[in-house]
């Protein structure tokens, strides 16, 4: 055991002087943090929507109702509404557009205002008729008959029977189209309500932020980045470094000394754990300085990150044992790390994934690592922490044993 | 063990292990197979205290396999070996505590300085020399703060030698210590090994350079295709297999005259051509060689003819049926 310390010092010095390793362990996570935080926490999204209003008066002015509908769209913060002249051919316009976003188009048909007016009257009459029926004994027969006659007269005066349709057009590769379509649907629903005289909503939604005071989006991303970087260090960097030492004979030189295999593995794991904790500190400080992050890792967060570093480094040593070539070891590490990152809900929520993938994710150690860190750093609670600690603890124990068994100390 | 070299007067041999009458290494019927390939085939030899023992052979002869088994870095298929009194299979840790190893194609941490690498090597052992003393004695103090990766091949090898020596080992393994070095660096490495030998160091050396064997080794074992075909002192090997003396007819621009070649072949025990197309004839008897020298001198005219003592190259020719080129390949 006394040989672990000098080897740990040597490994750490060698690592600190390796610019590539230092970049990927410290600077790369910071760059990742800054980019993601700038992209996802830099303000609300805004989607461009072109509107072609074909419902115009003989003089060329939009009808009142179609104009009111366009104004409703413009009133939504998330939409940047732009007009497309009614004279333009939508197909020719789309083909002339250069980006996906500018091909998103809502077409208001000719006769929109008249159709809305007639449809509105029909709906109102239906409401009156229905209300009359429901009032039952409160009206006498004469009053009821009078109302029915008036309703029927009004219905006869209108000729629209089907709702008017506005056409939403977006190319198939427009990933934001479903979101924009949802916003348009909500505007249409509000317009429909007002068209039949419903000014006061029956049901309203109120947004509240949960999970802590003064927490921003970066607070929520930070645990994800930390978990992902610990994974990348352990599963991609460690196999490359260890395979490199094996390839150039450094490991054989060490094996020719009294240093034992377990000492080598322990020193490597300790070195990576120290790197993970330094990385944790750097990321927290950068997140605080640049994005005002308030989440601070406590002793349990430090313990969980350390356990994660042990588990993933041991896995990396096992991977290095299979391949002597550093490039092949990096590729194998990538093949393990990237699917785990994308399937564990680190970079995006599992809610957007199919149920089968969500089930798979729950078997990924990174999923539990990330959830545990988020629980500790963002929610500030220890509830449910047994699972992440247990999963990473079992993983660490299994892969440390496997690392001892698969690392060659003879017959290189 | 290297007390004389490093000036502390200590002479400790095989502490903890037991050796039999000054025998530091005992190898008995050692075999190592890789599938159908036999890298070492029933190899038996011993190494005595304070001698430099060379394992000689072409590339692929099994030299490194045998040495790595003795260094506990490789497992034998059968047979046994003890190093400084400890069994290499059952007591590898005890063996490693007492040996110094300079592996073939030595490499260590590129981004650590020479001093830092030697300090690491020292701290992996319980006892040893002061790092600064070793750096000084191997003339490495001028490069002590240079990173290993920035050194030339010769200085890298010397760093490896320092790392092998810093633990004050009872036995030093040098696996192809001068392969890949330029002639000047090779000569310097020889000087260092000579100093170790003069200080009473026991060294096991592998090489394919016959000149290196003649320069450094007390005894040598010749490995050919995994088999040890001869083991003895270098002088005995040369006397027994190399012939007492040899005649070398230097090739001119048109090679060696056929009349001269025919005369030499008829007089010599055996003849062969060198890389430079010189014709060499081996003789068991010096007077017969001198008679032949007189006859050839008349035939060869102004062609240069030398009468020289035989060496390990001639031994190798006799026992392996070929000579070794500079890269260690059998020709």
Burial of B276 (0-12, 13-18, 19+ CB in 10 A): exposed
Q: How far is CA B137 from the centre of its chain?
A: 22
**Cα–Cα distance between A291 and B253 in angstroms, integer?**
81
**Cα–Cα distance between A378 and B248 in angstroms, integer?**
87
Residues of B in contact with A7 (CB under 8 A): 120, 124
For an interface test with B, the pick among A258, A407, A412 (most B C-beta atoms closer than 10 Å) comes out as A258
Strands annotated E in A297-360: none
Least confident of A163-172, B59-68, B171-180: A163-172
Say if the Cβ atoms of B74 and A17 lie within 8 Å: no
Say if the Cβ atoms of B107 and A248 lie within 8 Å: yes
Averaged pLDDT score across all residues of chain A: 86
ipTM over 0.90: no
Stretch B83-106: mean pLDDT: 95
**Cα–Cα distance between B159 and B172 in angstroms, integer?**
14
Q: In the predicted model, is pLDDT for residue B252 greater than 80?
A: no
* Predicted local confidence at residue A355, as pLDDT: 85
Axis-axis angle for helices A365-377, A386-406 (nearest 10): 140
Q: In the predicted model, is pLDDT for residue A204 greater than 50?
A: yes
* Predicted local confidence at residue A31, as pLDDT: 87
How far A265 CA lies from chain B's nearest CA (Å)? 15
Which residues, including other chains, have CB under 8 Å from residue A232's CB and lie 6 or more apart?
A24, A337, A341
**Using an 8 Å Cβ cutoff, are B112 and B156 in contact?**
no
Say if the Cβ atoms of B124 and A257 lie within 8 Å: yes
Least confident of A91-100, B52-61, B287-296: A91-100
Question: What tokens does A124 get?
Answer: 């109102």
SS3 B53: strand
Q: State whether residue B150 sits within 8 Å of chain A by CB.
A: no
Stretch A11-29: mean pLDDT: 86
Stretch B129-152: mean pLDDT: 95
**Using an 8 Å Cβ cutoff, are A168 and A116 in contact?**
no
Which residues, including other chains, have CB under 8 Å from residue B122's CB and lie 6 or more apart?
B128, B129, B131, B166, B167
**Cα–Cα distance between B226 and B44 in angstroms, integer?**
11
Q: In the predicted model, is pLDDT for residue A100 greater than 70?
A: no
Q: In the predicted model, is pLDDT for residue B259 greater than 60?
A: yes
> Higher confidence at residue A64 or residue A295?
A64
Stretch A162-181: mean pLDDT: 85
Q: In the predicted model, is pLDDT for residue A359 greater than 70?
A: yes
Q: In the predicted model, is pLDDT for residue A411 greater than 70?
A: yes
Say if the Cβ atoms of B107 and A249 lie within 8 Å: yes
Q: Which residue of A has its CA nearest to B116?
A: A10
* Predicted local confidence at residue B13, as pLDDT: 34
Q: Say whether pTM exceeds 0.95.
A: no
> Higher confidence at residue A104 or residue A347?
A104
Say if the Cβ atoms of A18 and B111 lie within 8 Å: yes
Say if the Cβ atoms of B107 and A253 lie within 8 Å: yes
- Other Cβ atoms less than 10 A from the Cβ of A114: the count is 17
- Other Cβ atoms less than 10 A from the Cβ of A405: the count is 10
| pLDDT bracket for residue A101 (50, 70, 90) | low
Least confident of A76-90, A114-128, B148-162: A114-128
Helices (H) and strands (E) in chain B, counts: 12, 14
Q: State whether residue B281 sits within 8 Å of chain A by CB.
A: no
Q: Please, what's the largest Cα pairwise distance for chain A?
A: 111
Highest mean pLDDT pick, A291-300, B203-212, B250-259: B203-212
* Predicted local confidence at residue A213, as pLDDT: 55
> Higher confidence at residue A220 or residue A166?
A166
**Residue found by looking up tokens 């570093």 in the block:** A309
| pLDDT bracket for residue B213 (50, 70, 90) | very high
> Higher confidence at residue A306 or residue A342?
A306
Q: Which of B75, B103, B126 sits opposite A410 (nearest CB)?
A: B75
Domains of chain B: 3-234 (3.40.50.300), 244-309 (3.30.70.860)
Q: In the predicted model, is pLDDT for residue A381 greater than 70?
A: yes
Q: Which residue of A has its CA nearest to B124?
A: A3
For an interface test with B, the pick among A2, A257, A408 (most B C-beta atoms closer than 10 Å) comes out as A257
| pLDDT bracket for residue B11 (50, 70, 90) | very low
Interface residues of chain A, partner chain B, Cβ below 8 Å: 3, 6-7, 9-10, 13-14, 17-18, 248-250, 252-260, 410-412
**Using an 8 Å Cβ cutoff, are B246 and B314 in contact?**
yes
Q: In the predicted model, is pLDDT for residue B10 greater than 50?
A: no
Q: State whether residue B71 sits within 8 Å of chain A by CB.
A: yes
Highest mean pLDDT pick, A316-325, B208-217, B312-321: B208-217
* Predicted local confidence at residue B133, as pLDDT: 94
Q: Rounded to the nearest 5 degrees, what angle is found at the Cα of A264, between the Cα atoms of A262 and A267?
A: 105
* Predicted local confidence at residue B20, as pLDDT: 53
């Amino acid at each position: 055991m006394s040989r672990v310390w000098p080897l740990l010092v040597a490994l750490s010095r060698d690592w600190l002087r390796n610019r590539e390793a230092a970049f990927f362990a410290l600077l790369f996570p910071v760059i990742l943090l800054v980019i993601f935080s700038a992209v996802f926490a830099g303000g609300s999204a805004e989607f461009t929507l072109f509107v072609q209003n074909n419902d115009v008066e003989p003089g060329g002015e939009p009808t009142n109702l179609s104009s009111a509908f366009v104004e409703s769209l413009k009133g939504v913060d998330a939409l940047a509404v732009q007009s497309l002249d009614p004279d333009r051919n939508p197909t020719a316009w789309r083909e002339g557009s250069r980006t996906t976003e500018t091909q998103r188009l809502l077409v208001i048909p000719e006769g929109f205002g008249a159709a809305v007016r007639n449809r509105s009257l029909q709906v109102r009459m239906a409401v009156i008729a229905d209300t009359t029926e429901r009032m039952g004994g409160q009206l006498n027969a004469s009053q009821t008959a009078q109302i029915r006659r008036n309703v029927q007269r009004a219905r006869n005066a209108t000729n629209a029977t089907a709702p008017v349709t506005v056409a939403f057009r977006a190319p198939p590769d427009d990933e934001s189209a479903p979101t924009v379509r949802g916003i348009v649907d909500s505007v249409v629903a509000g317009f429909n309500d007002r068209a039949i005289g419903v000014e006061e909503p029956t049901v309203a939604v109120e947004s509240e932020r949960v999970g802590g005071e003064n927490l921003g989006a970066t607070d929520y991303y930070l645990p994800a980045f930390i978990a992902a970087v610990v994974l990348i260090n352990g599963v991609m960097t460690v196999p490359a470094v260890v395979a490199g030492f094996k390839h150039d004979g450094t490991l054989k030189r060490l094996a020719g000394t009294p240093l034992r295999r377990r000492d080598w593995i322990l020193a490597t794991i300790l070195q990576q754990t120290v790197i993970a904790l330094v990385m944790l500190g750097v990321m927290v400080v950068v997140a605080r300085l640049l994005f005002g992050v308030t989440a601070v890792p406590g002793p349990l967060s430090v313990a969980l990150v350390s356990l994660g570093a042990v588990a993933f480094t041991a896995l990396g040593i096992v991977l290095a044992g299979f391949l002597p070539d550093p490039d092949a070891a990096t590729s194998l590490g990538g093949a393990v790390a990237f699917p785990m990152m994308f399937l564990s809900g680190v970079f995006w929520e599992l809610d957007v994934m199919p149920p089968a993938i969500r089930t798979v994710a729950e078997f990924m150690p990174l999923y539990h690592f990330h959830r545990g860190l988020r629980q500790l750093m963002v929610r500030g609670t220890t509830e449910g922490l047994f699972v992440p600690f247990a999963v990473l603890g079992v993983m660490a124990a299994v892969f440390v044993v496997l690392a001892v068994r698969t690392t060659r100390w003879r017959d290189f | 063990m290297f007390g004389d070299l490093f000036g502390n007067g200590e002479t400790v041999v095989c502490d903890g292990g037991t050796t039999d009458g000054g025998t530091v290494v005992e190898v008995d019927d050692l075999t190592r197979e890789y599938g159908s390939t036999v890298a070492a085939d029933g190899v038996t030899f011993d190494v005595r205290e304070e001698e430099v023992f060379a394992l000689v052979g072409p590339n692929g002869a099994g030299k490194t396999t045998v040495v790595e088994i003795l260094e506990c870095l490789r497992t034998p298929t059968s047979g046994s070996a003890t190093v400084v009194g400890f069994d290499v299979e059952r007591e590898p840790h005890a063996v490693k505590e007492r040996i110094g190893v300079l592996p073939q194609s030595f490499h260590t941490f590129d981004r650590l300085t020479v001093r830092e690498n030697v300090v690491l090597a020292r701290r992996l052992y319980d006892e040893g020399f002061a790092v600064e003393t070793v750096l000084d004695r191997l003339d490495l103090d001028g490069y002590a703060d240079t990173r290993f990766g920035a050194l030339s091949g010769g200085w890298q090898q010397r760093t490896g030698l320092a790392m092998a020596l810093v633990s004050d080992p009872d036995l030093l393994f040098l696996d192809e210590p001068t392969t890949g070095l330029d002639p000047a660096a090779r000569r310097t490495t020889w000087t260092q090994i000579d100093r170790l030998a003069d200080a009473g160091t026991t060294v096991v050396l592998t090489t394919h350079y016959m000149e290196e064997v003649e320069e450094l080794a007390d005894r040598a074992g010749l490995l050919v295709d995994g088999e040890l075909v001869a083991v003895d002192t270098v002088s005995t090997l040369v006397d027994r297999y190399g012939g007492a003396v040899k005649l070398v007819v230097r090739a001119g621009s048109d090679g060696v005259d056929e009349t001269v070649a025919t005369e030499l072949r008829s007089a010599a025990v055996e003849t062969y051509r060198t890389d430079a197309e010189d014709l060499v004839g081996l003789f068991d008897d010096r007077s017969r060689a001198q008679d032949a020298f007189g006859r050839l001198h008349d035939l060869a005219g102004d062609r240069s003819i030398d009468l020289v003592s035989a060496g390990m190259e001639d031994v190798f020719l006799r026992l392996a049926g070929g000579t070794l080129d500079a890269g260690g390949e059998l020709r």
